Amino acid sequence: MQIFRPGADTIATMVLASLGVIPILSVGLAYQLAGSPYVTAQNVTRDQPVPFSHEHHVAGLGLDCRYCHTSVETASFAGLPPTETCMTCHSQLWTNAPMLAPVRTSLADHRPIVWQRVNRLPDYVYFDHSIHVAKGVGCSTCHGPVDQMKLTRQAAPLTMSWCLDCHRDPAKALRPRDAIFNTEWQPPADHDRLAREMMAAYHIRTDHLTDCSICHR
C-alpha cells in the first residue's frame, strides 16, 4: 500500500530547501530595508514653521552658507540663524507676508523659532562640521544641491556605510578651499590629479579614518 503520493519527494525537497533559503532572504530583506529611504529618511522634506527656500536665498539672492550657519567653520554644529538674522532683511522686505508671521512673532516674544532638524544622526554618532570644512569637503557634497531646494530635504542616506565610503576614499569629496561653500562647483576634468594634491595639502591620512573612535566616542 502506497503511503505517500508520487509528488511527496518533490514537496519535501522544496520544504527543506525553503528552510535554508528563507532565513537568508529575511536577512537580505532586513539589510535592504535598513538602507532604504523609508528608514534613512533620505529625500524626506520636513514641515517647518516657516517654508524657508534655499533656492531663493542661495541661488536667487546669492547668500553665502556662512551668513546663516555661522559656526560651520569653527564648531561641530553648523548652527541655525537667530531671528535677528532673518529680520535683517525682513524688517524691510515682505514685512506683512503671512508666511513670515512666525518670524515676527519670534522677534516680538523673544523666543527662537523651533526648526525641525532635517539631517539627523543617531546620538551615538559624533560628527564635526568644522573638521570636514577644514579638510576641503564642500557643503553640497553631503547636503546635496541645496541651491535648488525650494524646501530643504535630506539629500544623503547618512548611513554608516555611506560615511565609510568617503572615509576610505576622501579624495573624491575634496575641493579647493575657495570652492567649499560654492554650491555650483563641479569637479574639473583633472580632478584625480587635483585630488591627490589636495590630499597632501590638507594633510589627510586614511590609515585611521575608519577607526571606530573617529565617529563613536
pLDDT at 37: 82
At 153, give phi and psi (nearest 5°). Answer: -130, 165
What does the pLDDT read at residue 38? 80
CA distances from 94 to 15, 90, 98, 103 (A): 69, 6, 9, 11
How confident is the model at residue 39, as a pLDDT?
A: 84
Stretches where the chain sits below pLDDT 50 are none
**Whole-Å CA distances, 176 to 46, 126, 187, 191:** 32, 25, 10, 10
8 Å CB contact between 69 and 75: no
Give the per-residue pLDDT at 169: 96
Q: The pTM is what?
A: 0.83
